[in-house]
Amino acid sequence: MLPKVAIQADGAAGLSVSQLSQTQVNTALTTVLDADLGGMQKWLAWCEGDMGHCACKALPFQPKDLPGVSFRLIDLQRRCIVTPPRDTAFIALTYVWGGVEQLRLNRTTEPVLMQDGGLAVSWLRLSTTIRDAIIVCEKLGERHLWTDTLCIMQDSSRDMTVQLTWMRQIYASAKCAIAAVGAATADHGLLVSSRAEQVVPNSEDALTTLIASSPWEGRAWCYQEKVFSHRMIIFTHCGIYAQCQGGSYDVEGAQLERRNIRLLDTYNTCGGMLFVPRGEDLESFISAVEYYSQRQLTKSQDKKHAFEGIFRRYANGMDGQ
């Protein structure tokens, strides 16, 4: 059973902008089944509809029709993996795989997973984090989810190669990303158990510090997934938060106290690689390499692939600098 995490301490509810420091202590525990995500659902709808959040809108993604390659999503209504129509809205999952065994899409599992009800039949074989992400999508009222293990054909080198070149577009075109920040492996789930009392961040700086010390922040693959996501719902061992191009928010959708710099001034945050000011491509690229170099890979041969989306972002813009 996963723990309950209290996000808002006494007296904090109802604030439009939290002025509280990182002093409140979390002692309650929950699972995603128990988690109230009504505030996150309202925040997502507000961010989508607010004219001041145009930079948060998902980018269009039109995957090329290539022999033997398909863009796939999990369809929560049909309970299976599908090849969706173009312009289908979806949520993307970013998490630490951690080397654990989990159900994958391959030529053997494809016949079951791509038929109606296939995921229901295979439910207990899914990793805890993917099961949690499906539950979260349902709570948010979203129908489609993308995750690497089930949407990329794991035993097809052609499908894998093409999909890896699409990673930047996939996260940039997702309506929102779900980030399993506190989980060290796919078996830990979105809300990670912690018996110790936890200090709950109530400022953007405190949330940034919390994320910086997480297992997710240290993984190379997760870097490009973060910097190309327009919006994120962030699951930590201290609670649930959201982040977009306009700021950071608690589980009720209340904005956390802002820092004195623009969110996009850093190349190590949600959406940080999406809108680099003209003339700053080289500086931004160098910063991206520095941030990426600090991260870990389970397989050293993935070093190029995990950075490929970021490299492609700058390849055409630096004119040989």
Contact 252, 197 (CB under 8 A): no
DSSP conformation letters of 170-220: HHHHSSEEEEETT-SSTTS-SS----S-EEEP-BHHHHHHHHHTSTGGGBH
Integer Cα distance of 269 and 13 in angstroms = 26
Q: Is the pLDDT of residue 313 over 50?
A: yes
Q: Residues 236-248: pLDDT tens digits?
A: 988 899 999 888 9
What are φ and ψ of residue 20, in 5° steps?
-80, 150
DSSP 263: G
**Chain-centroid distance, C-alpha 68:** 27
Lowest mean pLDDT among 147-151, 180-184, 210-214: 210-214
pTM for this entry: 0.78
The Cβ-side half-sphere exposure at 107, using a 13 Å CA radius, reads 7
> Which of 4-8, 183-187, 209-213, 280-284 has maximum average pLDDT?
183-187
Q: Is the pLDDT of residue 111 over 90?
A: yes
Q: Residues 52-83: pLDDT tens digits?
A: 888 888 888 888 778 888 999 999 999 999 99
Domain boundaries, the chain: 17-315
All residues at 6 or more sequence positions from 174 whose CB lies less than 8 Å from its CB, including other chains: 58, 90, 91, 92, 146, 229, 230
Which pair of tokens denotes residue 59? 């980018």
Quote the pLDDT of residue 215: 85
Q: Is the pLDDT of residue 8 over 50?
A: no
Q: Residues 127-138: pLDDT tens digits?
A: 999 999 999 999
Q: What is the mean pLDDT of residues 204-227?
A: 82
